[in-house]
């Protein structure tokens, strides 16, 4: 490939990326647009006269929602890892009977539409009194991530050399001890990948939030945006400002942990 085609490719790539990212740019642009410019024809392509009213509204009204989302996200991560890491290890190394079937069930579990799960949870929580409470949402959100997490852990841990585990056993470490002091530290990358996705999914969840937490005081940010859309159709800068703030975790993931993201996408898909 000569230098010119390479340059053309870069140029074309920039163009494609610009088109693809345009909605993201537009979100930021609208979040900075003043109310009376919002309906202008044609719309302003750049925030010439930026206003921070939208962000001020976010700070005033949405801060508790952001806190709830953070709490739910972290809780989901913790629960997911506690459940999935041992399960993945068992699947990968201890070769339980029916392991193949279990992997298949985990794959199939990812096919279940969230809305079905939401109805199931709603029925249970109604009896347990867990509706409109954050522990309920953490439990529900973890079901999005656990099957994926188990498969990622299993895929990663099956790559740990058998000799290493044998050496630990010979030294007198039990299964539990081996898992805790050898397997878990080695699996750091898998833990990071799983945590990132579990957090992002819990943070982004709308189905569970809207069904299981519609009346509570502690609402996650997704519901905050949704109510904005429902209530004041006019304040699009505030809506988009909330959207920008709600996108921060995604942006952080992209900048800080991009290789874990790609690893997660491909292990979820390629590993059979």
Distance between CA atoms of residues 134 and 218, nearest Å: 7
- Give me the least distance between CB of 253 and another protein, in Å please: 6
Of residues 136-175, which lie at the interface with another protein (CB under 8 A)?
143, 146, 150, 175
Of residues 70-89, which lie at the interface with another protein (CB under 8 A)?
83-84, 86-87, 89
Q: Which of 48, 59, 63, 105 binds another protein (CB under 8 A)?
A: 105
By beta-carbon proximity to another protein, the closer residue of 52 and 266 is 266
Q: Is 258 in the site for another protein (CB under 8 A)?
A: yes
- Give me the least distance between CB of 190 and another protein, in Å please: 16
Q: Which stretch binds another protein (CB under 8 A): 52-60, 70-78, 180-188, 199-207?
A: 199-207
Tell me the CB-side half-sphere exposure of residue 234, using CA atoms within 13 A: 4
As a dihedral over the C-alpha atoms of residue 5, residue 7, residue 11, residue 17, rounded to 10 degrees, the angle is 90
Q: Determine contact, residues 97/135, Cβ cutoff 8 Å.
A: no
Q: Is 94 in the site for another protein (CB under 8 A)?
A: yes
Q: Which stretch binds another protein (CB under 8 A): 37-45, 60-68, 130-138, 185-193?
A: 37-45
- Give me the least distance between CB of 100 and another protein, in Å please: 13
> How many CB atoms neighbour CB 180 within 10 A?
13
Q: Is 14 in the site for another protein (CB under 8 A)?
A: yes
CA distances from 4 to 15, 17, 248 (A): 17, 20, 37
Residue 216 CB contacts under 8 Å (≥ 6 apart), including other chains = 131, 132, 133
Please work out the total of residues on this chain that contact another protein, with binding judged by CB under 8 A: 89
Q: What is the DSSP letter of 44?
A: P
Extract the tokens encoding 30: 């609208």
Per-residue interface string for the shown chain with another protein, residues 44-73, x marking contact by CB under 8 A: ------------------------------
Burial of 227 per CB tally in 10 Å (0-12, 13-18, 19+): middle
Nearest by Cα to 149 from 210, 206, 78, 213: 78
By beta-carbon proximity to another protein, the closer residue of 134 and 267 is 267
Query: Could you please report the per-residue DSSP string of 188-205?
Result: HHHHHHHHHHHHHHHHH-
3-class SS at 42? Answer: coil
By beta-carbon proximity to another protein, the closer residue of 24 and 47 is 24
Q: Is 6 in the site for another protein (CB under 8 A)?
A: yes
Per-residue interface string for the shown chain with another protein, residues 200-239, x marking contact by CB under 8 A: x--xx-xx--xx--x-------x--xx--x------x--x
- Give me the least distance between CB of 165 and another protein, in Å please: 13
């Amino acid at each position: 490939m000569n230098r010119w085609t390479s340059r053309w490719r870069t140029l074309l790539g920039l163009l494609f990326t610009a088109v693809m990212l345009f909605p993201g740019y537009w979100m930021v642009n609208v979040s900075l647009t003043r109310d009376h410019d919002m309906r202008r024809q044609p719309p302003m392509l750049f925030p010439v006269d930026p206003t921070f009213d939208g962000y001020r509204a976010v700070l005033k009204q949405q801060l508790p929602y952001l806190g709830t989302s953070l709490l739910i996200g972290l809780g989901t991560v913790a629960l997911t890892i506690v459940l999935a890491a041992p399960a993945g290890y068992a699947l990968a190394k201890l070769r339980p009977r029916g392991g193949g079937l279990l992997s298949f069930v985990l794959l199939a579990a990812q096919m279940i539409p969230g809305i079905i799960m939401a109805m199931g949870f709603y029925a249970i929580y109604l009896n347990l009194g867990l509706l409109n409470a954050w522990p309920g949402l953490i439990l529900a959100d973890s079901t999005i991530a656990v099957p994926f997490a188990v498969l990622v852990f299993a895929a990663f841990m099956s790559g740990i050399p058998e000799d290493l585990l044998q050496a630990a056993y010979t030294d007198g470490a039990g299964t539990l001890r081996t898992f805790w002091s050898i397997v878990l530290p080695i699996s750091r990358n898998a833990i990071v990948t799983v945590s990132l996705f579990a957090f992002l999914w819990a943070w982004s969840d709308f189905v569970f939030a809207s069904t299981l937490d519609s009346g509570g005081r502690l609402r996650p940010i997704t519901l905050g945006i949704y109510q904005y859309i429902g209530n004041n159709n006019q304040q699009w800068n505030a809506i988009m400002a909330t959207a920008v703030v709600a996108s921060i975790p995604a942006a952080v993931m992209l900048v800080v942990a991009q290789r874990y993201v790609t690893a997660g996408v491909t292990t979820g898909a390629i590993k059979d």
